[in-house]
Amino acid sequence: MKKILKRILYGFLILIGIIVLLAGYLGFRFWYGTRDMCPAETQKLNDSVFVVKDKFVNAYFFKTSQGYVMVDAGVNEENFKAQMEKLGIQPEQVTTLLLTHTDSDHIAAMALFKNAKVYMHKDEEQMVNGKNGKFFFLRVHWKYGPYTLLNDLDTLNIGGLRIQIIHTPGHTPGSCCYLFNHEYLATGDNVAYKNGKFIHFTDLFNMDTPAQEAALKKLPELNTTPVILMAHHGIVRQKSSAVEIKKMLNTYFLVTINLTGLSHKDMGRMYGEKIRQAMPSYDTVMDAMMKDQFDLLKQAGLSFDVVKQRAVALLQQIRPEYRDEIEGMASVFSGTKDEPGDGRFSRNEFLVWQFYADVVRPTQCSASAAFADASASGNTIVGRNLDWYALKDNSLAKIHTITLIHNGSKSIACINFLGQLTPVSGFNDHHLFGAILDCETGAAYPPVQGKQSYHFDLRYALENDSTIEGLANFMKDKDYTFNHLIFLADEHSAGVLEDNIGSKVRGLRTPSSKVRAGSEWGIPNTFATVNDNRLPGNFVENPESQSNIKRWSSLKSQYKSQLKSGKIDIEKMKLIAGFSSADGNAKSSGALFRSNDHAPTLQSIILKMDTYELWVAFAPQGKLPMKPSYLQVFRGNPFLQN
């Protein structure tokens, strides 16, 4: 009997020892897993976003026109209510409660919110109906009434707040994040933050850490959303979001896009949503511009339906990544009624906007450059004027834009208009510049099937080429809708691709190229182009085209005049590109800066190719000035990110 009792005692002591060791191990795991937890203090982040700290966990509130939207509901009802009172928020003001998951420290104060509609991911229902529990013995005792189940990527629109649910299983089967207007990401217990990095949550509290790790790898929003709102690790403000838009000097928009680690479709969607935030009137402005444009085109018998069909066909010919960007943006501008002038920017109107120069013939522009011994620095200085149709109130002046696309070695800068995904003028991080110019030959618009977009091809070439010759070779054999020119420059020289479709002599004209008799330039270490071809055998325009003849003469005289007093620098290039002659009209006086013309100069660009120093004269709304007023956009390399 004594032996039996002794064995029982030994067994009991061993069991106690195992329990103590297990408790110690779990205690150590608990301490180790929670030692870095640091929830944010109760506070107001801004006029619309608030934080409540309930002991060791955070909940978040978003103020909308339809009441407060709230994420999670804390660990202690009494304390939670006291923290809300500090912010002046009453429980009855909460109309929406979003649950990242249903652990007890995220739902304890739910009884306070009797007016709130409750949402959770559909895979979390097993955690509240008794079918599943954490660690096989902990079950949620749900006593909070009805709830609505959501699917991955479902979207809610509540009082002007766009909310997307993102399923991130692992902590629990239905754990999820909520993305608010691509500005805030509420992560619940899906993410921890340690040593400046986002990592998976503590293993001890996860039901399936490998699943959580896999879900986080598919969550680019973790790196692209400006503010991350975590449950136990506080708030992280990222240095920058994937897409940022700022209004500069009340004159132009600076768009910064970081494509690194971001899908092209997500980029497009985010860009569209950021436009809506930065310029709430964008839809009406663009729709009005479309109406003005097509009222003008009706005179030539061109309707919106015809142009739309061209754009739809071209969409199928561009590279998949660009098509994804368009689809992403089009999901934001999703109006279904194609009626320019109705105040809505429809999906098809947006599509036409992306292919504008491919489906609606652009107008006259000019460009020139000084380099080598003609340049004060010895490197190329570019002067380029973008001329476009004179629309009512110069509506395009409302959306002047500099677009920076950061994408490693494929980074480019575009001088264009808000919402455009392609450069009208642009340059890359290899000191290569490209800009489109019209070159009318009188040919009828061809069938679009099989044609490509020279706008999108210019973007691709700038993303992938580093030389004038490489870019010209890429584009000179493609089948495009319109004949055109591509003005090109690098640090050491300049040229123009005479892209006359079907011509046997279609190709690059450089300073050393033989040209048609009587069309020579003749000024060493400089180069210029207007809207015509000059390679022998290429299309010869109507000799009565006074606009090209007189602007060519003006470019020559301006260069000769400026070179008499020394080499060309930034200020002298401003005088050349900004030459408005007597009346600001190209046809009557050879004005380069066209302030009184059917095709006024919307953007006059001066770029120093070695340093990226960039000056732009953006046409203002209303009446154009006779002389351009240049703003410095970049002092140095814009591709260097902080």
- For residue 143, the domain's CATH number is 3.60.15.10
State the helix-helix crossing angle for 304-315 and 347-354, rounded to 10 degrees.
70
DSSP states along 384-450:
EEEE----GGGGGGGGEEEEEEEBTBT-EEEEEETT--S-SEEEETTS-EEEEEE----PPPPP-TT
- Reading the block at residue 148, the tokens are 């609505």
pLDDT of residue 152: 92
The rounded distance, in Å, linking the Cα atoms of 532 and 548 is: 7
Q: Which amino acid is at 344?
A: R
Element (H, E) at 212: helix 209-217
State the helix-helix crossing angle for 347-354 and 320-330, rounded to 10 degrees.
140
| 177 located within any domain | yes
| 505 located within any domain | yes
Please give the angle made by the CA atoms of 549, 550 and 552, to the nearest 5 degrees: 70
Strands 148-150 vs 117-121: parallel, antiparallel or unpaired: parallel
The rounded distance, in Å, linking the Cα atoms of 447 and 444 is: 9
| 333 located within any domain | no
- What is the average pLDDT score of the chain? 89
In contact, 350 and 329? CB cutoff 8 Å: yes
* 366 shares its domain with 229: no
Q: How many domains does the structure of the chain reveal?
A: 2
Cβ-based neighbour number of residue 243 at 10 Å = 24
- Reading the block at residue 95, the tokens are 């109309």
Range of the structural domain that residue 89 is part of: 34-237
Strand partners, 631: 616
| 501 located within any domain | yes
In contact, 387 and 361? CB cutoff 8 Å: no
Dihedral, CA of residue 532, residue 534, residue 538 and residue 542, to nearest 10: 50
47 pLDDT more than 90: no
- For residue 426, the domain's CATH number is 3.60.60.10
Percent of the chain past pLDDT 70, that is, above it, reads: 92
In contact, 565 and 577? CB cutoff 8 Å: no
| 215 located within any domain | yes
- Reading the block at residue 447, the tokens are 């069938």
Contacts (Cβ under 8 Å, ≥6 apart) of 139:
130, 133
The beta-strand segments (E) located in 145-282 are 148-150, 155-158, 161-167, 176-180, 184-188, 192-194, 197-199, 227-230, 235-237, 243-248, 252-258
Which tens digits make up the pLDDT trace of 284-337?
899 888 888 888 888 778 888 999 999 999 999 999 999 999 999 998 886 778
641 pLDDT more than 70: no
In contact, 114 and 91? CB cutoff 8 Å: yes
pLDDT of residue 134: 77
* DSSP alpha helix (H) spans, 280-346: 282-297, 304-315, 320-330
| 578 located within any domain | yes
Q: Which of 302, 283, 396 is nearest to 349 (CA)?
A: 283
| 6 located within any domain | no
Contacts (Cβ under 8 Å, ≥6 apart) of 227:
45, 183, 184, 185, 235, 236, 237, 238
14 pLDDT more than 90: no
Most confident of 128-137, 139-148, 270-279: 270-279
In contact, 254 and 246? CB cutoff 8 Å: yes
| 75 located within any domain | yes
Which tens digits make up the pLDDT trace of 56-104?
999 999 999 999 999 999 999 999 999 999 999 999 999 999 999 999 9
468 pLDDT more than 50: yes
6 pLDDT more than 70: no
pTM: 0.68
Tell me what percent of the chain is helix, strand and coil, each rounded to the nearest 5: 30, 25, 40
Contacts (Cβ under 8 Å, ≥6 apart) of 407:
258, 259, 260, 463
pLDDT of residue 642: 43
Q: Give the distance from CA 292 to its chain's centroid.
A: 27
The rounded distance, in Å, linking the Cα atoms of 490 and 527 is: 12
Which tens digits make up the pLDDT trace of 148-159?
999 998 989 999
Domain-terminating residue out of 171, 202, 237: 237
Contacts (Cβ under 8 Å, ≥6 apart) of 428:
410, 411, 412, 413, 462, 463, 465, 466
